[in-house]
């Protein structure tokens, strides 16, 4: 009798449809299924052609646009998520093409099983490997699935994962490129600080090192001693130059020296990190967790700089964070602050988020910045919706049902 009286009220208290109850009894956590996917290729024009050290050494042309791959995923229960990946100078059409080839395997999958879906997508395109363009195409889908899952839980992604803080120190990069005259760099820095940004990064790595030092002296003098300042050589020094420059730069009390060497020179970075007081940061150009693991294992960096879209999305980024945490590295993710604010908030050791204003026109929402920090909003998921301008810059779409 006891069993009967206990069972009846519980059953009547459940308001879920019969089908869902049966599914739970059978062991299925949810019955939701992906039923619609839209991929979009969006070209974001930049107001001014952009040059870092790679342009001044002749290896790349000034950048005039950024190619984005957006994934919008919908489910049978009416949930949706949006994610993006991107590429600079080359690779945008390849990311879009690869995503179109693997996207059909998404239909019918439970959107909650993100790591399983990531693996399924990698195997669908296994012939082209597990890094670079292939995983970057998958990243847009992976990020959309995290956005969807967080929205379903009515939580920001940082809170779905579990965050250590609700705001993250932020520094500006977009005002300090090498095409920008120094007087303008100083003006940009003042504007960034006035807007509540906490630190300033400028580009270095010019063919004549004295030009770098002259610019840096002006910036340090302009900012004063207390404003956090970083430099970024975009991989354009060789080992002897990086060591010599690293020693000269010590007097500027920099937060870090970024990409002093080729992105794949793990041993060279390790030597610098040991020899210099200033922290060494790199990792933005690497295209998988495995490539980052080489840096981490070799003690190459004090501050690791992964980029979620470049290494396959949030699922992969979190695996990398586990490795980095064990070495007590600091974390300063590259670009895509709209994603990385959430991920930096979840990392236990020291963090920074990189402020670029370039992506602002793509979204209806803007991040809140004040007191030197970028603040998480209470909007669920990533907290961003695509703007009409982003739709207008869309150069291709592909739908899957
Ligand atoms: Mg950089």
In sequence order, the β-bridge partners of residue 304 are: 282, 331
- Count of positions (residues) in the chain: 401
Structural domain count of the chain: 2
Check 159, 269, 292, 334 and give the catalytic one. 334
pLDDT in tens, 339-373: 999 999 999 999 999 999 999 999 999 999 999 99
Residue 107 Cα to ligand 1 middle (Å): 37
Residues 47, 131 within the same domain = yes
Check 149, 159, 203, 340 and give the catalytic one. 203
Residues 168, 140 within the same domain = no
Residue 309 Cα to ligand 1 middle (Å): 15
Considering the domain boundaries, does residue 251 fall inside one?
yes
Residue 51 Cα to ligand 1 middle (Å): 12
CA distance 41 to 360: 17
Q: Is 319 annotated as a binding residue?
A: no
Residues 211, 246 within the same domain = yes
Q: Give the alpha-carbon dihedral of 44, 49, 53, 54, to 10 degrees.
A: 60
Give the pLDDT score at 14: 45
Residue 390 Cα to ligand 1 middle (Å): 25
334 catalytic per annotation = yes
Considering the domain boundaries, does residue 60 fall inside one?
yes
Residues 301, 285 within the same domain = yes
Q: Is 154 annotated as a binding residue?
A: no
Q: Which two tokens stand for residue 169?
A: 């120190």
Considering the domain boundaries, does residue 322 fall inside one?
yes
Residues 192, 334 within the same domain = yes
Residues 130, 171 within the same domain = no
How does DSSP assign 131-182, residue by residue? Answer: STHHHHHHHHHHHHHHHHHHHHTTSBHHHHH--S-SEEEEEE-TT--TTS-H
Residues 77, 123 within the same domain = yes
Domain containing residue 382: CATH number? 3.20.20.120
> 354: helix, coil or strand?
strand
Q: Is 208 annotated as a binding residue?
A: no
pTM score of the predicted model: 0.92
pLDDT in tens, 248-268: 999 999 999 999 999 999 999
Q: Is 234 annotated as a binding residue?
A: yes
Residue 284 Cα to ligand 1 middle (Å): 7
pLDDT value at 12 more than 90: no
Give the pLDDT score at 18: 58
Considering the domain boundaries, does residue 165 fall inside one?
yes
Give the pLDDT score at 3: 39
Considering the domain boundaries, does residue 297 fall inside one?
yes
Residues 316, 186 within the same domain = yes
Give the pLDDT score at 5: 39
Of the candidates 298, 292, 254, the one whose C-alpha atom is nearest the C-alpha of residue 276 is 254
CA distance 123 to 238: 38
Q: Is 54 annotated as a binding residue?
A: yes
79 catalytic per annotation = no
Residue 9 Cα to ligand 1 middle (Å): 60
Residue 258 Cα to ligand 1 middle (Å): 6
Considering the domain boundaries, does residue 21 fall inside one?
no
Considering the domain boundaries, does residue 28 fall inside one?
no
Domain residues for the domain of 244 are 158-386
Q: Is 32 annotated as a binding residue?
A: no
Residues 367, 292 within the same domain = yes
pLDDT value at 31 more than 90: no
Domain containing residue 44: CATH number? 3.30.390.10
CA distance 320 to 354: 18
Mean pLDDT over 46-53 rounds to 91
pLDDT value at 30 more than 80: no
Residue 109 Cα to ligand 1 middle (Å): 36
Residues 181, 298 within the same domain = yes
Considering the domain boundaries, does residue 301 fall inside one?
yes
pLDDT in tens, 97-137: 999 999 999 999 999 999 999 999 999 999 999 999 999 99
Residues 320, 352 within the same domain = yes
Q: Please name the residues in contact with 98: beta carbons below 8 A apart, sequence gap of 6 or more.
A: 125, 128, 133, 134, 137
Mean pLDDT over 295-308 rounds to 98
Residues 175, 120 within the same domain = no
Q: Is 72 annotated as a binding residue?
A: no
pLDDT in tens, 315-348: 999 999 999 999 999 999 999 999 999 999 999 9
Q: Is 232 annotated as a binding residue?
A: yes
Average pLDDT, the chain: 93
């Amino acid at each position: 009798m006891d069993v009967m009286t206990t069972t009846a009220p519980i059953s009547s208290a459940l308001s879920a449809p019969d089908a869902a109850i049966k599914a739970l009894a059978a062991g299925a956590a949810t019955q939701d299924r992906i039923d619609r996917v839209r991929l979009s290729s969006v070209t974001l024009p930049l107001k001014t052609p952009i040059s870092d050290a790679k342009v001044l050494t002749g290896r790349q042309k000034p950048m005039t646009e950024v190619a984005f791959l957006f994934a919008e995923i919908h489910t049978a229960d009416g949930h949706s998520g949006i994610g993006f990946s991107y590429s600079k100078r080359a690779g945008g059409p390849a990311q879009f093409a690869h995503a179109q080839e693997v996207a059909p395997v998404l239909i019918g999958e439970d959107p909650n099983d993100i790591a399983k879906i990531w693996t399924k997508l990698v195997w669908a395109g296994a012939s082209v490997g597990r890094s670079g363009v292939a995983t970057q195409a998958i990243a847009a889908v992976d990020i959309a699935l995290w956005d969807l899952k967080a929205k379903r839980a009515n939580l920001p992604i940082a809170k779905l994962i579990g965050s250590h803080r609700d705001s993250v120190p932020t520094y500006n990069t977009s005002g300090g490129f090498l095409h920008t005259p120094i007087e303008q760099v100083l003006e940009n820095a003042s504007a960034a600080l006035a807007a509540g940004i906490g630190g300033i990064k400028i580009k270095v790595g010019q063919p004549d090192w004295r030009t770098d030092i002259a610019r840096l002296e002006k910036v340090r003098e302009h900012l004063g001693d207390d404003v956090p300042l970083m430099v970024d050589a975009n991989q354009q020094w060789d080992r002897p130059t990086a060591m010599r420059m690293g020693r000269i730069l010590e007097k500027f009390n920099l937060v870090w020296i970024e990409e002093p060497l080729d992105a794949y020179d793990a041993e060279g970075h390790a030597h610098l990190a040991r020899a210099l007081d200033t922290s060494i940061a790199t990792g933005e150009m690497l295209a998988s967790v495995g490539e980052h693991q080489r840096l981490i294992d070799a003690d190459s960096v004090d501050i690791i700089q992964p980029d979620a879209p470049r290494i396959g999305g949030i699922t992969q980024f979190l695996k990398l964070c586990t490795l980095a945490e064990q070495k007590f590295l600091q974390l300063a993710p590259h670009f895509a602050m709209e994603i990385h604010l959430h991920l930096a908030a979840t990392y236990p050791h020291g963090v920074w988020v990189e402020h670029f204003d370039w992506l602002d026109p793509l979204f209806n929402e803007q991040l809140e910045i004040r007191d030197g920090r970028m603040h998480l909003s209470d909007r669920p998921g990533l907290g961003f919706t695509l703007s009409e301008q982003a739709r207008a810059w869309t150069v291709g779409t592909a739908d899957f049902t």
